[in-house]
Amino acid sequence: MNERLPKVFVNKIDKTLNVNQEATISSRKNSSLNWNKILDDKDKYLFNHQYLITLNNNETIEDSIISKQQNKILTLNGKKIDISDIKSVVEIKK
């Protein structure tokens, strides 16, 4: 194919390119948040944000938080999670 192009457009690539990997990694940033700050911030709509919830048994749940009732949180998919079972909560920024 290089023989058909004018020499102006032909560039020799002699190195490996990782451009796509870098773009994929940088397109999704995570930020750690304080668990109490997430639940107690009344001005913020929790269901507008995606969270990565890691449980004590290393199960991960990627979902939005709807509300907190007593010692449980309710996710957008209708799952009830005990707060004592949660190891960490990370907001996923897209």
DSSP designation for 83: G
Give the pLDDT confidence score for residue 2 in this predicted structure.
56
Both structure tokens of 16: 């490996």
- As its CATH architecture, domain 29-93 has Roll (2.30)
Domain boundaries, the chain: 29-93
Give the pLDDT confidence score for residue 49 in this predicted structure.
79
Both structure tokens of 9: 């457009």
Give the pLDDT confidence score for residue 80 in this predicted structure.
92
What is the pTM (predicted TM-score) of this model?
A: 0.54
Element (H, E) at 36: helix 35-40
How far out from the chain centre does Cα 49 lie?
10
pLDDT in tens, the chain (94 residues): 556 766 666 677 777 766 655 444 443 444 444 556 666 665 566 667 788 888 889 899 998 888 878 888 888 888 999 888 888 888 887 6
